[in-house]
Chain A
């Protein structure tokens, strides 16, 4: 195995393990924590792939804010007493998903890589490059995203309000 591949495989292996832990842990808090780890690993992947800005954002927003929110809610609802049962659908779902996975893998294996990756400039993936795209080509989605966030906040507050 070529040296550049070793970090990849290690990280990949860890990512898969943590994903499985997210899905198959009985305790919700353990699941949440596994997800945090997975997100962290993905951020590492991002950085490896010359997207440092996005990687940092991943840690900040995803692992930092969203997961914290998840943990808040878990603690609020105190689901320790909540068990789960297994039904017939467990099998249907698993089989279907595995088929999906199989298909996707088959597709991906057959994919031809693009001819020559463009030369990665030093600035590739840097905040400057990201900001340049964001505020020129994608300014409209950017503004809409901000409104979206506002709406989400208001909505969440309304939904979770205790009824008087």
Chain B
């Protein structure tokens, strides 16, 4: 039996990598993909705890997370398409209008 902590540490590492991706990359699509990576790390945590607590609820939560992630990816990509049509760019630093 793999100890719980190992899984959790792995999940934390993947989550951190996702955060780095969100903060660093200047391509909206990659940012969105990093968000997906973060969601998946969390999913992994849920499943791990579901296994170790013997409760189905963790898996149910993961189910819902997946559904919501799908919806969110869809809408996000639609927005990206709309922005691209307008500005011909996917660089978030080119979209700084909501400031002083």
Q: Among B23, B48, B68, B90, point to the contact of A148 (Cβ < 8 A).
A: B68
* Nearest chain A CB to B60 CB, angstrom units: 5
Q: Among A97, A134, A153, A162, point to the contact of B20 (Cβ < 8 A).
A: A97
Complex CA distance for A70 and B90, rounded to whole angstroms: 14
Interface size on B, residues (CB 8 A): 73
The residues of B that contact A151 with a CB separation of less than 8 Å are 71
- With contacts defined as CB atoms under 8 Å apart, how many contacts are there between chain A and chain B in the complex? 235
* Nearest chain B CB to A103 CB, angstrom units: 9
Complex CA distance for A28 and B80, rounded to whole angstroms: 14
* Nearest chain A CB to B67 CB, angstrom units: 5
Complex CA distance for A32 and B5, rounded to whole angstroms: 29
* Nearest chain A CB to B63 CB, angstrom units: 7
Q: B: which residues have CB within 8 A of A?
A: 1-21, 23-27, 29-30, 32-34, 36-37, 40, 43-44, 47-48, 50-57, 59-60, 62-64, 66-75, 77-82, 84-85, 89-91, 93
Q: A: which residues have CB within 8 A of B?
A: 4-5, 8, 12, 15-16, 19-20, 22-23, 28, 31-32, 35, 38-39, 42, 45-46, 49-51, 53-54, 57-58, 61-62, 65-66, 69-70, 73-74, 76-77, 79, 82, 84-85, 87, 89-90, 92-94, 96-98, 100-101, 104-105, 108-109, 111, 113-114, 117-120, 124-125, 129-130, 132-134, 137-138, 141, 145, 148-149, 151-153, 155-160, 162
